[in-house]
């Protein structure tokens, strides 16, 4: 039995308690300064507000001012906060994480350096430890089709752990694997980390197609499939440019994650609201009011900036990415903009 500390008491952080407790580990669940109401509900014996599943009995809960106590005696740390909080939480916990030696990161996103360069999350986390003159732990990126409510409920889930330190990734996987929570371990953390935030962006387009269907009462499956295929092509293009593998994007970490996010994730819901007729601003505010973070919105802007930094003729090379950003910004007719980005170019003259 080991002691595992999860930093972040939101949906995924609380969900991972389920397989860890099933394995018999001691689990410390630490909430940020934004998680107090979530911990209040758990302490009151209610289901977790984000997953609607009770947190397993025996889980030790810690508030934001109890970080040191939450990390004491831990054998592994799992970072599971929203992307906007990754840098701050990492800095606060860096000394103890460095001593523990391994960090699993379920958070997704890109990070902007002080000079404006967009970096992958593991590289940014590595920079935090180096900047503090601390030993860099083994960083293990976690991704794949892994809906938090299903993990919390113990439903069969295939996830992916990627790291340049394969043995550390395998060790982490051995600690958490159950009959229903299985881990594929890969060395290509780059492909995984490119796909993880980008799938949130592209899921907006999948949701948009579903929103069109809501209005017409007829499916828009052909268009949705074109969005899906173009999204994978563009994610693979970005991943290989970073030095990752296209196969990672076409596997669980990319196509699998995009599929599950496009079925029911927050980014899909946001896109569906726009496709059904709401403006992007109204749709986003409705999500914010419901305490639902739409990570694809900020990620779309960062991804467009990243593309401009790495590619010539970035919009021509990644048309769907740029089309989604235009929709998010409320520019043009969403259906026309997205369709033009996903359908093959016409070989004949346009119809009169």
Residue pLDDT, tens place only, 213-261: 998 888 999 999 999 999 999 999 999 999 999 999 999 999 999 999 9
* Beta carbons of 48 and 16 less than 8 angstroms apart: no
Please tell me the distance from the alpha carbon of residue 190 to that of residue 240, in angstroms, as a whole number: 9
Q: What is the predicted pLDDT for the residue at 113?
A: 87
Tell me whether residue 44 is exposed, middle or buried, using C-beta atoms within 10 angstroms of its C-beta: 0 to 12, 13 to 18, 19 or more.
exposed
Residues 6+ apart with CB under 8 A from 309: 117, 118
Please tell me the distance from the alpha carbon of residue 141 to that of residue 161, in angstroms, as a whole number: 6
Q: What is the pTM of this model?
A: 0.92
In eight-state DSSP terms, residue 117 is -
Tell me whether residue 66 is exposed, middle or buried, using C-beta atoms within 10 angstroms of its C-beta: 0 to 12, 13 to 18, 19 or more.
middle
In CATH terms, are 3-187 and 190-342 the same topology?
A: no
Residue 80 CB coordination number (10 Å):
26
Residue pLDDT, tens place only, 99-123: 999 999 999 888 888 899 999 999 9
The rounded Cα 147 to chain-centroid distance in angstroms is 10
Low-confidence ranges of the chain (pLDDT < 50): none
Residue pLDDT, tens place only, 71-81: 999 999 999 99
CA 223 vs CA 215, 276, 335: distances in Å: 15, 15, 10
Q: Tokens representing 196?
A: 């993880």
Residue with tokens 């440019």: 241
> Could you give the dihedral angle defined by the CA atoms of residues 212, 110, 190 and 255, in that order, rounded to the nearest 10 degrees?
-10
Please tell me the distance from the alpha carbon of residue 304 to that of residue 331, in angstroms, as a whole number: 15
Q: Which of 13, 52, 46 is nearest to 29 (CA)?
A: 13
Provide the 3-class DSSP secondary structure of residue 46. Answer: coil
Q: Which fold has domain 190-342?
A: 1.10.1040
Please tell me the distance from the alpha carbon of residue 16 to that of residue 115, in angstroms, as a whole number: 35
Please tell me the distance from the alpha carbon of residue 312 to that of residue 77, in angstroms, as a whole number: 40
Residues 190-223 as b or e (16 or more Cβ within 10 Å = b): bbbbbbbbbbbbbbbbbbbbbbbbeeeeeebeeb
H or E segment to which residue 160 belongs: strand 157-162
User: What's domain 3-187's superfamily in CATH?
Assistant: NAD(P)-binding Rossmann-like Domain (3.40.50.720)
Q: Tokens representing 251?
A: 């596997």
Q: What is the predicted pLDDT for the residue at 212?
A: 96
User: What ranges do the domains of the chain cover?
Assistant: 3-187, 190-342
H or E segment to which residue 212 belongs: helix 189-216
């Amino acid at each position: 039995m080991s002691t595992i500390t999860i930093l972040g008491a939101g949906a995924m952080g609380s969900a991972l308690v389920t397989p860890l407790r099933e394995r018999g580990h001691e689990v410390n669940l630490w909430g940020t300064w934004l998680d107090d109401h979530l911990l209040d509900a758990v302490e009151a014996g209610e289901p977790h507000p984000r997953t609607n599943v009770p947190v397993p009995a025996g889980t030790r809960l810690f508030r934001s001012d109890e970080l040191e106590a939450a990390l004491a005696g831990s054998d592994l740390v799992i970072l599971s906060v929203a992307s906007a909080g990754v840098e701050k939480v990492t800095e606060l916990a860096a000394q103890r994480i460095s001593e523990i030696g391994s960090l699993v990161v379920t958070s997704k996103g890109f990070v902007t350096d002080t000079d404006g360069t967009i970096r992958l999350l593991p590289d940014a986390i590595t920079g935090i430890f180096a900047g503090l003159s601390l030993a860099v732990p083994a960083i293990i990126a976690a991704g794949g089709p892994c809906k938090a409510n299903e993990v919390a409920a113990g439903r069969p889930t295939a996830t992916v752990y990627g790291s340049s330190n394969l043995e550390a990734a395998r060790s982490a996987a051995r600690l958490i694997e159950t009959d229903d929570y299985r881990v594929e371990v890969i060395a290509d953390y780059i492909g995984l980390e490119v796909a993880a935030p980008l799938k949130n962006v592209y899921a907006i387009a999948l949701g948009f197609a579903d929103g069109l269907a809501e209005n017409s009462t007829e499916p828009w499956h052909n268009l949705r499939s074109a969005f899906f295929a173009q999204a994978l092509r563009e994610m693979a293009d970005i991943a290989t440019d970073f030095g990752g593998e296209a196969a990672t994007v076409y596997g669980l970490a990319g196509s699998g994650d995009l599929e599950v996010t496009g079925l029911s994730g927050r980014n899909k819901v946001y896109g569906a609201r726009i496709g059904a007729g709401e403006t992007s601003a109204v749709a986003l505010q409705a999500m914010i009011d419901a305490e639902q973070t739409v990570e694809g919105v900020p990620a779309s802007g960062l991804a467009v900036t990243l593309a401009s930094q790495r590619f010539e003729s970035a919009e021509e090379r990644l048309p769907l990415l740029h089309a989604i950003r235009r929709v998010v910004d409320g520019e043009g007719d969403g259906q026309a903009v997205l369709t033009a980005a996903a359908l093959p170019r016409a070989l004949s003259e346009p119809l009169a």
